[in-house]
Amino acid sequence: MSEHPRSADAHAVGLHDEPVDADVVRSDLVYAGRVWDVRSETVRYGDGEIVRDFVAHTGAVAVVAIDDDERVVLIQQYRHPIRHRDWEIPAGLLDIDGEPPIETARRELAEEVDLVAETLELLVEVFTTPGGSDEVIRIFLARGLTAAPEAFAREDEEADLRVERVPLAEVIDGVLAGRLRNGILATGVLAAAERLRRG
C-alpha cells in the first residue's frame, strides 16, 4: 500500500491538524439558543458542495486541579442531556467578551470549587465534537491549591454540586474501566498524568 502523499511531510514537521479555508456558499441560523446556536452551512468542498448542520459554540475552558497529595479535584453534577450526575473537572464557557481563557479558568476554579491556584498552565486544546460542533476547549493544569477568600453561591445544576478530591491514579482507573465517561475529564487527567510523568 502506498503512503499518503503528505505522510512523510507530516512526520518531518510533527503531526498536526490542518486548517482548511473552505468556501462557505450559504450560512443560515437554524436555531438561536440560550447558550449556543445551531447553523446550517453549504460549503464548496472537493468537486461539489456539502451541507452540514453544527452547533456554533462560544468555546470553553476546563481545569485539572491537582493538590499536593496528587489528588484531582472532581465535581459531580446533573447533566440533563445524558440523564446522569457525571463526574467532571471544573469547566466553563468563554462567555465574557475579552476575558483571556486563563482568566476564565481561574474564575471557574473559584466559582465551582472555591479554590485559587498558585500556577495555571495550558495542558491541551481539544475539538470536543468536530463532526457536530465548532467548540474548542482549553484544558489547564492547576497546582498550588488554596481556599478562595469566599465561597461562591451556586444555582441550577450547580446547586447540589458535589466536590471530591480523588487520587489521580484512581481517576485514571475509572476512565479506563469505563466508569467515568466525561470526555473532558478523561482527556484532562490523562494529559495531566503524562505532563507530571515527564516532569
CA trace torsion 5, 128, 56, 25 (10° rounding): 10
Measured distance CA(137)–CA(62) in Å, rounded: 7
CA-to-CA dists, residue 41 to 24, 45, 127, 165, angstroms? 7, 12, 19, 43
The answer to whether the CB of 47 falls within 8 A of the CB of 53 is no
* Spatial CB neighbours of 181, under 8 Å, sequence gap ≥ 6: 86
Q: Which amino acid is it at 150?
A: E
Query: Which one of the listed residues 18, 158, 170, 194 is annotated catalytic?
Result: 158
C-alpha cell at 143: 497546582
Q: Nearest-5° angle of CA 150, CA 152, CA 154? A: 160
The answer to whether the CB of 143 falls within 8 A of the CB of 119 is yes
158 given a catalytic annotation: yes
Measured distance CA(104)–CA(96) in Å, rounded: 8
Q: Nearest-5° angle of CA 90, CA 93, CA 94? A: 125
**Active site members:** 158
